[in-house]
Amino acid sequence: MAAKTDPALLQLRKVSRSYGDRKALHPIDLSLAAGTCTALFGHNGSGKSTLLRIASGRDTPTSGSALFAGRTVSEDDPVVRARVAVVGDTVACYPDLTVREHLELVTVAHAVEDADGWIDEVLADRRLADHAKALPGSLSSGQMQSLLLAAALVRPRDLLVLDEPEQRLDPDARQRLAELLIGEKEDGVAVLLATHQADLAEAVADRMIALEDGAVIAKGTPAAVLKKLGVRS
C-alpha cells in the first residue's frame, strides 16, 4: 500500500469552471496520492460532478491546472485513458450487448491478460454472475450500477473516479462497495469519490472536501468535516 506521504498522483491547482456567466466551481486545490481516498461531499449542484469531470479529463478548467502523473489531464491523452477509470453519474450501455459482452469490450480496449478469468471474478464480486447473459434493459437499477462498477474493475487503473456510486444500491451492496474501495486503496489505487452518504465517506476516505454552490465550505478528515457541517455530533 502506498504511503500517504507519497507524491500526489492527481494535482488540481486553483482549478475553477464557469459556463457563461455561471460559476460552477470556484478555485480549488486538491492533491491525491496513490493508496488514498478523497471524498467530495455536498448536495446536487454543489460542484462535485464538475470537479470529477475535470479530474478525469472529461472537462477542462476555466482557470488553473489539472495534472495526472505530472501530465495535463485530458481524456484524449492515451496515458490518462489507460490509467484513469471512471464510474460516472449516467448510465451508458449498448442495448444489444450482454453484461459479459460489455466487460469483454472493456478488457479488449485495455489489452487485459487472462480476461475471461478476470471477468468471471468481477462478475462474482459484483453479484452479476447470474446475469452475465442479460441485456441492460432487463437489469434493475442496482444491477446497472453494479455493471458500471464492474466495467471499471476489469481494466487497469491507478486512479478511480466515482460519482455517487452508492446510488441505486441496497444497504448490503453499499457495504460491499465500501469494502471494495478500501481494497482499492490497499492495492495502491487513488480514489476520488463524490457522495451524499456520510457513512460511506467515513468508511473509506482519508480526507473530505465539502462543497456548496461550487465553493469549498469545509475540508479535513471526514469526522472533522461532518462535525463542522453538523452531520455528526
More confident of the two residues 91 and 19: 19
Residue 42 and residue 47: Cα distance in Å, rounded? 8
| pLDDT of 3 over the 80 cut | no
Residue 72 and residue 131: Cα distance in Å, rounded? 39
Percent of the chain with pLDDT over 70: 96
| pLDDT of 4 over the 60 cut | no
The whole-number pLDDT of residue 170 equals 87
pLDDT digits (tens, 9 = 90+) for 154-212: 999 999 999 999 988 888 989 999 999 999 999 999 999 999 899 999 999 999 999 99
Please compute the mean of the pLDDT values over residues 3-27 and round it to a whole number: 87
Tell me the whole-structure pTM to 2 decimals: 0.92
| pLDDT of 143 over the 70 cut | yes
The whole-number pLDDT of residue 167 equals 86
Average pLDDT of the chain is 93
| pLDDT of 71 over the 70 cut | yes
Query: Which domains are assigned to the chain?
Result: 8-92+157-229 (3.40.50.300)
For every residue of the chain, DSSP letters joined together read ---TTSPEEEEEEEEEEEETTEEEEEEEEEEEETT-EEEEE--TTSSHHHHHHHHTTSS--SEEEEEETTEE--TTSHHHHHHEEEE-SS----TTS-HHHHHHHHHHHTT-TTHHHHHHHHHHHTT-GGGTT--GGGS-HHHHHHHHHHHHHTS--SEEEEESTTTT--HHHHHHHHHHHHHHHHTT-EEEEEES-HHHHHHH-SEEEEEETTEEEEEESHHHHHHHHTS--
pLDDT digits (tens, 9 = 90+) for 44-56: 889 999 999 999 9
pLDDT bin (cut points 50, 70, 90) of residue 7 is: confident
List the grid coordinates of 38: 478523497
| pLDDT of 26 over the 90 cut | yes
